[in-house]
Amino acid sequence: MPVRPPSTFEETVERLGTAIRLGLLAPGSQLPPERELARQLRISRSTLRQALTTLVQSGHLVSLRGRKGGTFVAEQPPLAEHGGEALDQRAWAVLDYRVAIECGAAMLAAERGEDFDRLEALAEKMGAELEDFEEYRRTDVRFHIGLAEAAGSPRLIGAMTDVQGQMTDLIARIAHPAEVLEQSNEQHKRLVKALRKGDAERAVKIAREHLEGTEHIIAGLLPAPSRVAIPA
């Protein structure tokens, strides 16, 4: 089935990762040629390359060069080897927590916030850090904590700091092509514009779209699609 925008990269990772996990793409099997696979998914070849790079870096795929080269499914995808069920439950619990905190912060910031210059400056800074993910990530964390600060709630700032820390392990499992970071940062900029207008509904919508990208990728990398809540 074709992948639908706007999260074509993320959904492609999820689609291929799920196919690997379910055995639809068997261990050791070769993926179709890049041109053919992009045609089947109805996405650009550049988007497909980004998704394949992510799955190669996560250990789900192996890329070989030469006459018999191509892209192959790994014999043992990494998450299948390390107690994936516990990771699955923890990951979805963290992602759900993140949705509640980020969207709540966006709504309150739009309703209460007045000065968003710092958020805009941080988004501009990230635009210059697309080739250095470690620097980008540090600025990204500051942006999201700044969003909570704009909401004017000390408890929310603490929760945002906590959830950003919990996301660190999950984000470390994902490749970060510069093109994808640029797209993510465009969402940051759109969010700031919505906040300046006091448009809480649009701010929440953009925040939710921003988070969905990570969810699609994690769904493709985890060994099971279940979302089981963990008791407090």
Domains of the chain plus CATH, in order, are 8-79 (1.10.10.10), 82-221 (1.20.120.530)
Question: pLDDT confidence of 68, banded at 50, 70, 90?
Answer: confident
Beta bridge partners of 70: 64
What would the pLDDT profile of 48-58 be if each residue is shown by its tens digit?
Answer: 988 898 888 87
pLDDT score recorded for residue 219:
78
pLDDT score recorded for residue 222:
67
Report the percent of the chain where pLDDT is more than 90: 50
pLDDT score recorded for residue 13:
86
pLDDT score recorded for residue 179:
80
User: Among the listed ranges 2-11, 89-98, 187-196, which one has the minimum average pLDDT value?
Assistant: 2-11
State mean pLDDT over 18-41. Answer: 87
pLDDT score recorded for residue 187:
95
pLDDT score recorded for residue 213:
85
Under 8 Å between Cβ of 124 and 140? no
User: Among the listed ranges 27-41, 86-100, 143-157, which one has the minimum average pLDDT value?
Assistant: 86-100
Question: pLDDT confidence of 109, banded at 50, 70, 90?
Answer: very high
Question: pLDDT confidence of 82, banded at 50, 70, 90?
Answer: very low
Q: Of 1-5, 41-45, 183-187, give the range with the top mean pLDDT.
A: 183-187
pLDDT score recorded for residue 54:
83
pLDDT score recorded for residue 228:
42
Tokens encoding 133: 């993910």
Of 82 and 214, the one with more pLDDT = 214
State mean pLDDT over 139-168. Answer: 94
